[in-house]
């Protein structure tokens, strides 16, 4: 989704949204999870439909970092576009807020290993993504 170009990537995004929507209507989901790798860095983007927010879990960059400012802006914009085109839902995404819940931060520069461990641990702990900081 970070490199989505509506003129070139329409079939891929459309297939993903329509395929997921056929298995279970996306509008009925509480949360939709998108593991993202951008510039060799993994983080988790969650669309929390139940609590009307976009959640970013990142063990390295915080919300003030230029990296996260860029990716949050891009992902939210692309998600809104794809949702309006393919989700078959009238949910208004314009009022969703962006959240960066506290997560354990990395202490090393080996981002790939640390990020995968963070995501695995968060899923095991059942982190509630609607926690707003």
The number of domains in the chain is 1
Q: Assess contact for 60 and 47: CB atoms under 8 A.
A: no
- Is residue 132, in this structure, part of any structural domain at all? no
- Is residue 58, in this structure, part of any structural domain at all? yes
Total-model pTM? 0.74
Tokens of residue 46, six digits: 């969650």
pLDDT digits (tens, 9 = 90+) for 50-107: 999 999 999 999 999 999 999 999 999 989 988 888 887 888 899 999 999 999 988 7
- Domain encompassing residue 79: 10-125
- Is residue 76, in this structure, part of any structural domain at all? yes
Tokens of residue 62, six digits: 């915080």
Q: According to the model, what pLDDT value does residue 12 have?
A: 72
- Is residue 2, in this structure, part of any structural domain at all? no
- Is residue 22, in this structure, part of any structural domain at all? yes
pLDDT digits (tens, 9 = 90+) for 2-28: 555 555 556 777 777 777 777 777 788
Domain harbouring 120, CATH code: 3.30.310.130
Q: Looking at residue 88, what DSSP letter applies?
A: -
From 13, 8, 9, 54, select the one nearest 31 (Cα to Cα).
54
- Is residue 107, in this structure, part of any structural domain at all? yes
- Is residue 104, in this structure, part of any structural domain at all? yes
- Is residue 4, in this structure, part of any structural domain at all? no
């Amino acid at each position: 989704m970070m490199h989505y170009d509506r003129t070139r990537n329409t079939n891929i995004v459309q297939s993903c949204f329509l395929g997921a929507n056929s298995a279970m209507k996306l509008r009925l989901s509480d949360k939709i999870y998108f593991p993202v790798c951008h510039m060799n860095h993994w983080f988790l983007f969650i669309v929390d439909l139940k609590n009307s927010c976009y959640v970013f879990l990142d063990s390295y960059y915080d919300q003030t970092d230029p990296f996260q400012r860029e990716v949050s802006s891009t992902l939210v914009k692309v998600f809104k576009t794809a949702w309006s085109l393919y989700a078959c839902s009238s949910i208004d995404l314009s009022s969703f807020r962006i959240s960066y819940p506290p997560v354990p931060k990395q202490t090393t520069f080996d981002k790939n290993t640390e990020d995968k461990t963070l995501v695995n641990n968060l899923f095991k702990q059942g982190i509630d993504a609607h926690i707003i900081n």
